[in-house]
């Protein structure tokens, strides 16, 4: 088997060296960094998440529009209490080694993520299952809320109603793996998804082949090669040379590409938000007036236009356009240096203050940070920019060591809850996503109750009020919701920008002869 796999990898890599992003049957994509892992239990980064959805299936899945659709579960029932879920598995799904997917694989996959002593992953999407915390703590030998009445039925009972639980089940960490795991699973993963693993040359390329036995839409292309190309300008150059099937247009190149590649471009407002987290526990930043002054000091429309070529929707809250709960009538903080100085004086800082702005090495972040430094300096806020590698910068922010942290948040699922509860609830301070360390009892209570509401209209109204309070508390310097601009080569068809980064499975994409 190892000889055959290596031979296939060599053949596909040779074919993909041809022009137009590969041979007629080979699509070529890219990641900016190597996946952390190809194991769903360790899915904590974007490249890993994108890889998981290609190789594995979930009970339910997300389509390119961000909608929940059947996966390994062909249908499901939810009882009126919102506590009990029954999933009816399809009987034609098999893993890449030919084994049928059974209910016991679902149970085992979830137990593996939640097991006591497991580390390095993100188990929180499965924590709402009754008995999950006790199982993780080692005080229970089984998960009370998980059972399999037969090989094709899985029942899940929650500890309390949660109106976004189906969204949780579509996340990469909830993907289903074969139980027991193959011995070399970490380097040769076996899933049931539309693509099969072929080869992984770390920091170079990941090679996948079409799963001919897939229960759903079999990919139109023979293979998918994912190259590791860190620099955006290099990615763009590779695309223009025919070495990539699609590419995200670099911000600084947007105007040129709009002129030279107009017919190849796709645009979509991303379920993502760019912001500067303000650590509300650090000295003067605990005062809402200081945080409001930071927002008034910044001319965000100018930064958006000059740094990001206008590729964004200015934010007046944390909930992106397109999600129920977004309020398009709310006005962003306006650029008002005089008001910023007045607020600083009211808060006891008439001579300004000194802060550190932490960021990662991403080129666009460098330009944004410099613009912020200059504009904040104009009102007496002296900013020192601290650049660290991504893991070190994030660790500093999560540990509360950064005054300000320039970052973004990718939606894990298309719901307003995902842009509010993890980012602002006090229980998520630091490592949970709340990098502002905001602790507001009124907001906490509203966020908790919004997760249990059953009526969609009432839920949307609740999140609009939540987002308004977040905006007024100013735990961030609010920036924008990015607009993704991608190019697809003229000979490629069937690919489109997904609403979520995990929503594109490349099943319809192909290269025309």
Look at residue 316 and give its three-state secondary structure.
Answer: coil
Determine the pLDDT at residue 88.
Answer: 98
Determine the pLDDT at residue 120.
Answer: 66
Tokens found for residue 288: 């809402």
* Cβ-based neighbours of 263, under 8 Å, separated by 6 or more: 490
Judged on CB neighbours under 10 Å (0-12, 13-18, 19+), 138 is exposed
Phi-psi region of 451 (alpha: psi -120 to 50; beta: other; left: phi over 0): alpha
CA within 13 Å, CB half, 102: 11
* Cβ-based neighbours of 464, under 8 Å, separated by 6 or more: 325, 326, 327
| Euclidean distance between the first and the last CA atom of the chain, given in angstroms as a whole number | 32
- Quote the radius of gyration of the chain (alpha carbons, Å): 24
Q: Are 20 and 242 in contact (CB under 8 A)?
A: yes
Q: Rounded to whole angstroms, how far apart are CA atoms 368 and 299?
A: 11
Question: What value, to the nearest 5°, has the Cα angle with vertex 353 and ends 351 and 355?
Answer: 165
* Cβ-based neighbours of 184, under 8 Å, separated by 6 or more: none
Secondary structure, 3-state, 419-474: HCHHHHCHHHECCCCECCCCCCHHHHHHHHHHCCCCCHHHHHHHHHHHHHHHHHHC
Determine the pLDDT at residue 119.
Answer: 66
Q: What is the pTM of this model?
A: 0.84
In the numeric block, the tokens 């905006």 are attached to 471
Q: What are phi and psi of 89, to 5 degrees?
A: -80, 145
Across the chain, which has 513 residues, the per-10-residue mean pLDDT values are 41 42 76 93 90 98 92 97 96 97 98 82 90 94 96 97 95 96 91 98 97 97 97 95 96 93 95 97 97 98 95 97 95 97 98 96 92 98 95 92 96 93 95 94 96 90 98 98 96 94 93 86
Q: Are 197 and 208 in contact (CB under 8 A)?
A: yes
* Residue 221 host element (H or E): none
Query: What percent of the residues of the chain are helix, what percent strand, and what percent coil, each to the nearest 5?
Result: 35, 20, 45
Determine the pLDDT at residue 501.
Answer: 87
Secondary structure, 3-state, 330-373: CCCCCCCHHHHHHHHHHCCCCCCEEEEEEECCCHHHHHHHHHHH
- Number of helices and strands in the chain (H, E): 15, 20
Angle subtended by helix axes 363-377 and 300-308, to nearest 10: 150
Q: Rounded to whole angstroms, how far apart are CA atoms 123 and 110?
A: 9
């Amino acid at each position: 088997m190892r000889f055959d796999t290596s031979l296939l990898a060599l053949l596909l890599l040779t074919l993909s060296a041809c022009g137009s992003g590969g041979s007629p049957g080979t699509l070529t994509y890219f990641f900016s960094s190597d996946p952390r892992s190809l194991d769903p239990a360790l899915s904590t980064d974007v490249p890993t998440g994108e890889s998981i959805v290609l190789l594995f299936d979930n009970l339910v899945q997300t389509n390119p529009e961000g909608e929940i659709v059947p996966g390994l579960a062909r249908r499901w029932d939810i009882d009126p209490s919102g506590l009990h879920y029954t999933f009816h598995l399809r009987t034609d799904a098999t893993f890449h080694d030919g084994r049928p997917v059974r209910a016991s694989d679902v149970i085992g996959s979830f137990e593996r993520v939640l097991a006591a002593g497991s580390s390095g992953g993100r188990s929180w999407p499965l924590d709402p299952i009754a008995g999950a915390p006790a199982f993780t703590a080692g005080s229970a030998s089984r998960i009370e809320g998980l059972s399999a009445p037969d090989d094709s039925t899985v029942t899940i009972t929650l500890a309390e109603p949660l109106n976004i639980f189906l969204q949780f089940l579509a996340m990469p960490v909830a993907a289903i793996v074969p139980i027991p795991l193959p011995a070399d699973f970490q380097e040769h993963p076996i899933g049931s998804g539309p693509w099969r693993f072929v080869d992984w040359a770390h920091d170079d390329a990941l090679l996948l082949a079409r799963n001919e036995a897939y229960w759903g839409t079999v990919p139109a292309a023979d293979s998918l090669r994912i190259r590791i190309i860190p620099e955006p300008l290099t990615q763009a150059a590779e695309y223009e040379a025919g070495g990539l099937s699609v590419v995200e247009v670099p911000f600084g190149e947007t105007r040129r590409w709009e002129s030279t590649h107009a017919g190849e471009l796709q645009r979509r407002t991303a379920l993502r938000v760019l912001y500067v987290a303000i650590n509300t526990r650090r000295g003067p930043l605990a005062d809402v007036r200081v945080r409001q002054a930071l927002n008034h000091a910044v001319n965000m429309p100018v930064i958006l236009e000059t740094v990001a070529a206008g590729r964004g929707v200015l934010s007046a809250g944390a909930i992106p356009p397109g999600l129920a709960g977004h309020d398009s009538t709310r006005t962003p903080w306006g650029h008002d240096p005089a008001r910023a100085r007045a607020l600083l004086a009211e808060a006891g800082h008439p001579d300004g203050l000194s802060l550190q702005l932490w960021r990662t090495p991403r080129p666009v972040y460098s330009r944004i940070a410099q613009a912020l430094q200059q504009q904040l300096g104009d009102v007496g806020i002296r900013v020192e920019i601290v650049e660290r590698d991504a893991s070190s910068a994030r660790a500093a922010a999560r540990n509360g060591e950064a005054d300000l942290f320039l970052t973004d948040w990718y939606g894990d699922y298309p719901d307003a809850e995902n842009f509010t509860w993890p980012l602002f609830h006090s229980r998520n301070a630091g490592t949970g996503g709340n990098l502002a360390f905001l602790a507001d009892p009124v907001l906490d209570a509203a966020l908790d109750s919004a997760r249990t509401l059953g009526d969609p209209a009432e839920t949307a109204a609740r999140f609009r009020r939540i987002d308004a309070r977040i905006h007024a508390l100013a735990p961030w310097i609010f920036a924008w919701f990015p607009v993704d601009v991608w190019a697809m080569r003229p000979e490629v068809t069937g690919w489109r920008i997904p609403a979520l980064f995990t929503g594109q499975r490349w099943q319809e994409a192909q290269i025309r002869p």
